[in-house]
Chains A and B, each alone.
Chain A
Amino acid sequence: MRAAHLLRLIFWRLVSSIPALIGVVVITFILMRVLPGDPAVFFSSGPTAGQEEIENLRRQMGLDKPMYVQLGIYLKDVASGNLGRSILTGQAVTKDIAQRLPASLELTLTALLIAIVVSIPLGILAALRSGTWIDHLVRFLCTLGVCMPTFVSGLVLIFIFYFVLGWAPDPTGRIDIFAAQPPNITGFLLIDFALTGNWSGWWAAFSQIILPACTMALFVLAPLARMTRASMLAVLRSEFIRTARSIGMSEWRITIVYALRNALIPVITIAGIVFSTMLGANVLVEKVFSWPGVASYTLDALVASDYAPVQGFVLLMATIFVMVNLIVDILYGLMDPRMSIG
């Protein structure tokens, strides 16, 4: 019965998020058009392009119609899965996003994995030794990570590991540009190479992703480690831990099995938020490492007032936020039986 309940829950959560998504689409649509600057003029570049070319392009982009008609057409297109065409790349936005989203997701997930693997032990350590020099050291490291803008830490890492030491391959994209393109199965290079058993390819992709992933991980160490520490401290002071100690359980069992499981619940929420934020906000990392992801794609489009990609990206982000929140809620239920997800 539990599985059926879960499915019903997922269904209703998705249905109830539709009005929010429509709101997001409408607001982005209007915002883009309120911004000063006419894309038809901008894209009719070339010193011989005159008013006629501008009008042609405006017609082609549908900008000659009143805004409510444009909005109606756009909503209809979105409903049928068509997000329009990007002028900047000349491709359908859905195709661009399909090509670039895996790159962003792979980078963000790898970064999140690194951040979690590093920050949770750090947080636990800081909580167990709270007030000592270890605690201060962890605080210092986290502050350092969050203080340094990602493009600075990215450039520093490139300078050290690529330019000076020559350990890292050149920081341009997901794979060595001279190598043949990998098989496209899932779009996640690390998974695709593993699936085809091409381990030298896997290693090449891994050595490309490690620097940008570390750059991003550095930036999000702080919220994860600090949240782990705070909630660990709260749990360690609670009565069931005191009881466990009084009946003589081993310190290890108390910390890992009883305290950590309860302490991780707020950390999951934070991780969900951190993930969604990273996906959209890693534009600087993508720029610095020439990473062909969705965020740098959208920034280019925004600068050029290329409406369709920006609208498509915001819709995508909104959808991902909805999904991540749903997953976080489901994980809650798994972590804490008291939680009813309904």
Chain B
Amino acid sequence: MNLNRRDCLTGALALSVASLGNDALAQSREATLRQVMGGNVNTLDPTVPGASRESAGMSMSIYDRLITFGRKQVNGNWVFDQSVIVPELAERVETSADRRKITLHIRSNATWHDGTPVTAEDIKWSLDRCVSAKSLAPPQFQSGSMYKPEQFRIAGPRVVEILLDEPNRLAIGNLGLPYAIMINSTLAKKHATADDPWALKWLQANAAASGAYMVESFRPGEAVTLRRNPNWKSGPNGKPAHFERVICQSVPEASTRANLVERGDADIVLDLQVSDIAAVRARDVAKVVSNTQTNGFTHISFNTQVAPFNNVKVRQAFAAAFPYNEMFKAALFGRGQPLFGATWSGSPTSPDFPAPMPNHTDLARAKALLVEAGYPNGLDVTFNFALSYAAVAEPMAALMKESLAKIGVNLTIQKLPDTQLSTLQSEKKLSFYMDTGSAWLPATYYFFWVYFTRAQRWNLANWDNPRVFELVNKARTETNQAAYDAYCREMISIMAAETPLVLAFQANIDAVMAKKIDGFTYHFHRQLDYRDLRRV
């Protein structure tokens, strides 16, 4: 290569420009939030089948929904509060007296990222999409009694009505979930095709949104870069978000994520290993905010339709044989909320779920129950869990094996790849296994509806109890709080008596962040919402 005088001069100029730029660079670093994560954002539209959990979190900052939820302080940390409905793209929400009509008044000054105003037609199109597209949204919306486009009606300029056939406790809540994104329909329709009338394909890689952040670049599996939307009006006080820029980067290696946040190169991370979190805490180099995942649970489930677990006594025997405290310590180092050891019997003290169940380790009782069930010589059982959950499940399984051996049960532990476990689970071919469950709308009856009733994939224990099904359906449309609470209590007490599955615990989620990051909130989607965060 020939190096001439011109090249040298250009080089020198570039160097001096670079050094001038250092200040600007430092400033933009201050105004940039960098998150690192082990998973990845694989679509900008969270309703697409196969969308990762991280994608759902990302959509909260890019899109607006009609409403959002409040937040409250619990033990000094911010936690979502679904009892408070906060306006987002709708500035006002009215519910009719019979609770069968919801009227939404769209914000008058709201605009899409391209500057065009948000219209009632856009909202109607977006809601129609939520019940019509071949996506993950329709089954979710059905939980709010929203089934078909005819239920959404334009009732005037910037007014949209939702008509329900029955009052539904979750109807409004559903409008605040990641699936209920409001889409710029004019833009999306340009990319819709005959095969794909709802532009699912195009919206997977492109955004047509009005939210707090605009997508600067999206490289699936690598990084998403967002730029602040200066015209965002749907936030608290109608002000734009704090950070000018957000970088969300996939870093698969957990120890690298820990290094990055410890050295201050990354600002926040939600998925560090337990050992790294302990080290960060000990060295006091970053802030650790721990919250219990209150809308999730880890369960140990029995297949209640197949021997030996179709016998309630076998299930109760197992539930009495598990070494709960030891498992909790070994799997989570005691960091989380136990869901065992409650002192009530008969009816629970609270209608809330998931809450501690009256399960205790009692080997003598376990042994007696097993004899009563007709297994005086014990039995052989296989126990499964997913590979990706092995860090938690493996120590628990070992302790269970040891304890069950004392009542004559020979436990074979079998780890399975995640896809295989989910396939066997949906085909109801697992006899005895461990997994997790969670709900975006953590209402007691909703948990029972999704996880403990009906012949459907997520019926964890393949449990069929007609009374529970009846109670769930009653609770769904019940408008009287006391009656609703009574239904929920009864569901929980039936579950305690029948033991279709054992609730183990709720794990903590530890957000590790630079000391100057403030405002972190634990959300139902268990991901970051960049709109909460500030650098102080």
User: Which A residues lie at the B interface, using CB under 8 A?
Assistant: 36-39, 41-54, 56-57, 60, 87-91, 96, 99, 155, 158-159, 162-163, 166, 170-173, 177-178, 181, 197, 199-200, 287-290, 292, 296-297, 300, 303-305
Q: Which residues of B contact A41 (CB under 8 A)?
A: 419, 422-423, 426, 457
Q: Is B14 in contact with A200, judged by CB distance below 8 angstroms? A: yes
A181 to chain B, nearest CB (A): 7
Give the Cβ gap from B265 to chain A, nearest Cβ, in Å. 5
CB distance from A204 to the nearest CB of B (A): 11
User: B417 and A297: CB pair below 8 A?
Assistant: no
Set of chain A residues within 8 Å of B256, measured between Cβ atoms:
158, 171-172, 288-290
CB distance from A100 to the nearest CB of B (A): 8
For the complex, is B101 an interface residue (Cβ under 8 Å from A)? no
A32 to chain B, nearest CB (A): 11
* Residue among B43, B49, B221 making CB contact with A297, cutoff 8 Å: B221
Question: What residues of B have a CB within 8 angstroms of the CB of A52 in the complex?
Answer: 139
Contact B134 A56 (CB under 8 A): yes
- The answer to whether A47 and B450 touch across the interface, beta carbons within 8 angstroms, is yes
Residues of B with C-beta under 8 A to A177: 34, 223, 247, 249
List the A side residues contacting B18 at CB < 8 Å.
200
Smallest CB-CB separation from B10: which chain A residue? A197
Is the CB–CB distance between A173 and B42 below 8 Å? no
In order of increasing CB-CB distance, the 8 nearest A-B pairs are: A37-B419, A43-B50, A89-B220, A48-B139, A37-B420, A87-B50, A305-B419, A38-B423
A283 to chain B, nearest CB (A): 10
On chain A, the residues within 8 Å of B457 by CB distance are 41, 49-51, 54
Task: Determine if A292 and B417 form an interchain contact, defined as CB atoms under 8 angstroms apart.
Answer: no
Q: Which of A36, A51, A56, A290 contacts B456 (CB 8 A)?
A: A51
Bitwise, B407-451 to A at CB < 8 A (1) or not (0) is 000000000011110110010000000000111000000000011
Residues of A within 8 A of B458 (CB): 47, 50
Given contacts A41-B422, A200-B14, contact A88 B263 (CB under 8 A): no
Given contacts A50-B139, A177-B223, A292-B219, contact A287 B253 (CB under 8 A): yes
Extra contacts besides A42-B423, A50-B457, A51-B457 (17): CB < 8 Å: A36-B423, A38-B422, A38-B423, A46-B51, A48-B136, A48-B450, A56-B49, A88-B220, A90-B42, A90-B48, A90-B50, A166-B263, A173-B223, A177-B34, A177-B223, A177-B247, A178-B32
Complex alpha-carbon distance, A177 and B10, angstroms: 25
Min Cβ gap A77→B in Å is 17
Bound Cα distance A287, B252 (Å): 6
Is there contact, CB below 8 Å, between B247 and A47?
Answer: no
Q: Is the CB of A37 within 8 A of B49?
A: no
Interface: B29 (CB within 8 A): yes
B residues near A163, Cβ cutoff 8 Å: 259, 262-263
Q: Which residues of B contact A38 (CB under 8 A)?
A: 419, 422-423, 426
16 CB < 8 A contacts A-B:
A36-B419, A36-B420, A37-B417, A37-B423, A41-B423, A42-B422, A47-B437, A49-B457, A89-B220, A91-B220, A197-B10, A199-B11, A200-B14, A287-B253, A290-B251, A303-B417
Within 8 A of A (CB), among B35-67: 36, 42-43, 48-51
Known: A38-B423, A47-B437, A49-B457. A172 touches B14 (CB 8 A): no
Chain A residues whose C-beta falls within 8 Å of the C-beta of B439 in the assembled complex: 47
Say yes or no: is B205 at the interface (Cβ < 8 Å to chain A): yes
Contacts A46-B140, A90-B43: A36 and B417 contacting too (C-beta < 8 A)? Answer: yes
| B95: Cβ under 8 A from any A Cβ | no
Tally of A-B Cβ pairs under 8 angstroms: 157
Q: Chain A nearest CB: distance from B313 CB in Å?
A: 30
Within 8 A of A (CB), among B1-24: 7, 10-11, 14-15, 18
Instruction: Give residues of chain B (222-264) contacting chain A, Cβ–Cβ below 8 Å.
Output: 222-223, 247, 249-253, 255-256, 259-260, 262-263
Q: Which residues of chain A have C-beta atoms less than 8 A from B422's C-beta?
A: 37-38, 41-42, 45
B136 to chain A, nearest CB (A): 5
How many Å lie between the Cα of A45 and that of B217 in the bound state?
26
Q: How far is the CA of A283 from the CA of B138 in the complex (A)?
A: 38
Across the interface, name the chain B residue whose C-beta is closest to A39: B419
- Asked if B49 contacts A172 (CB within 8 A), the reply is no
How far is the CB of B338 from the nearest CB of chain A, in Å?
Answer: 23
Q: Are B49 and A88 in contact (CB under 8 A)?
A: no
A53/B423 in contact, CB under 8 A: no
Whole-angstrom CA separation of A33 from B234 in the bound complex? 47
Distance, CA A39 to CA B423, complexed state (A): 8
Tell me, in angstroms, the Cα distance from A50 to B266 when the chains sit together.
38
Chain A residues lying within 8 Å of B456, measured Cβ to Cβ, are 50-51
Residues of chain B contacted by A42 (CB below 8 angstroms): 418-419, 422-423
Q: Are B139 and A49 in contact (CB under 8 A)?
A: yes
Interface residues of B in 93-145 (CB under 8 A from A): 134, 136, 139-140, 142-143
Given A49-B49, A50-B139, A155-B255, A304:B32 Cβ within 8 A: no
| B249 A89 Cβ-Cβ under 8 A | no
User: Which residue of A42, A52, A288 has the most chain B CB atoms within 10 A of its CB atom?
Assistant: A42
B465 at interface (Cβ–Cβ under 8 A)? no
Complex Cα distance, B25 from A171, in Å, reads 20
- Do A48 and B140 have beta carbons less than 8 Å apart? yes
Q: Is the CB of B259 within 8 A of A162?
A: yes
Most-contacted residue by chain A among B14, B50, B217 (CB, 10 A): B50
Residues of B within 8 A of A288 (CB): 253, 256
B7 A197 Cβ-Cβ under 8 A: yes
Q: Mark B130-169, 1 if CB is under 8 A from A, else 0.
A: 0000101001101100000000000000000000000000
Q: B204 an interface residue at 8 Å Cβ cutoff?
A: yes
In the complex, chain B residues whose CB is within 8 Å of the CB of A57:
49-50
B1–chain A nearest beta-carbon distance, Å: 9
